[in-house]
Structure 1
């Protein structure tokens, strides 16, 4: 079982303040509950690029296509399924030199293609990056660490937020010698998961990031606002 830390975050409380789109004309209390789950990533997606500049468009296209095809073939041999790999179309642009007070001179062509890979086993991420390096990929555009069962963690965070809102309401009414009535309104504000993103890097730099993959953590948050009636 994956380790995770579950906790509620302290939040500001509003007593008797209108938080809905309409006026609330009875005594009430509003609390905001927050919940977080810290999850260890077990999968990843990464995007790499191959870029070539040559004198002719045909040469540039040929070199880029050759590298991409070799990389995709190597991934397949390493056990990556076809539906975990996607590649972009070729992007080809002319390159010009701009002499002062003269017409631009065509000096060659720049071709590039991207390949996106889903890694279902995080322990193999470094292996696939090494494959990319060997096959001639020259840039990692991004690496995003994820959890495969994110919905389960999100539910854990949601339940923590609900518990947090309840505890705050009960504490407040006790402190003010009031009675907590029925729930009048619940407003759900789902907080997005914060994935672990690695910056754009050259392939040699990507190899230096190895130790950080397994030590990373993903924060999954949730939030709920609850408006209670206050009994006399």
Structure 2
């Protein structure tokens, strides 16, 4: 009776998929969710910009956007960014209209939009690259995402911390109810649920050209959190 009550109390915190499986188990068991995280300093980043050009014809709009992207890439490579770390392969074209009140829509031209994503492996140069982005035809810096080069290493550390946490919680719960964990019955691990390092919005730093050193240091001073979790069904000793 004691073990059966333990199952009822703990199963309420389980995920639906795991809980459905646990409901069919006839032996004493408990479920836990282990969580782990690693806090690290970023050593790389990625940012993206939108290049937008509006012209009377589609070909003119595309040409203007292409020229702005070419100039941007030239500025970046001159500043030290390798061409392979600049992705600028996509473009979209759309007709633009003005909608006067009580009148038919009026065609105003074509808008060409190209998105450029830049990966930065020297974080100390990030603000210089952002300054290079603020050129003709570039309308905005969309976002800045701080990252770490050795993502797999820190993800594994977070995963192992989650596993240790699941074991620790299971042992503590079993002990509290006068029982003991006998072994693992099922592990439910969903890699898509792991949060990635947080991104930083670009607005606060877009016009920081006069304070490169301080701004670059502000990126290095930020921490990013890499998390992981695992759901486990443990068997209890009979």
Q: What's the TM-score bracket when you normalise by the shorter of the two chains? A: 0.7 to 0.9
CA shift digits 1:167-188 (9 cap, x unpaired): 2222233333323312222222
**Alpha-carbon distance, 1:57 to partner:** 4.3
- Listed as ranges, the matches of 1:25-64 within 5 Å are 25-64=26-65
Question: Going by fraction, where is strand more abundant, 1 or 2?
Answer: 1
Question: Going by fraction, where is helix more abundant, 1 or 2?
Answer: 2
Structure 1 distance, partners of 2:233, 2:107, is 67
Query: Counterpart in 2 of 1:21?
Result: 21
1:169–1:112 distance in 2 versus 1, CA, 3 Å: closer
1:65–1:186 distance in 2 versus 1, CA, 3 Å: closer
Structure 2 distance, partners of 1:41, 1:224, is 25
1:205–1:184 distance in 2 versus 1, CA, 3 Å: closer
Q: TM-score, normalised by structure 2?
A: 0.78
CA RMSD in angstroms comes to 2.7
Query: Counterpart in 2 of 1:219?
Result: 225
Structure 1 distance, partners of 2:112, 2:132, is 21
Segments of 5+ residues of structure 1 without an aligned counterpart are 1-13
Structure 2 distance, partners of 1:71, 1:126, is 15
Q: TM-score, normalised by structure 1?
A: 0.79
1:183 matches 2:200: no
Query: Counterpart in 1 of 2:198?
Result: 196
CA shift digits 1:19-75 (9 cap, x unpaired): 352611112222221111112211111111122334454543333222111111121
2:42/2:146 contact within 8 Å kept: yes
1:196/1:216 contact within 8 Å kept: no
Structure 2 distance, partners of 1:28, 1:94, is 62
**Alpha-carbon distance, 1:118 to partner:** 0.9
| 1:138 alignment partner, SS class | strand
| 2:199 alignment partner, SS class | strand
| 1:99 alignment partner, SS class | coil
| 1:21 alignment partner, SS class | helix
**Alpha-carbon distance, 1:89 to partner:** 4.1
Segments of 5+ residues of structure 2 without an aligned counterpart are 12-18, 210-214
2:53/2:137 contact within 8 Å kept: no
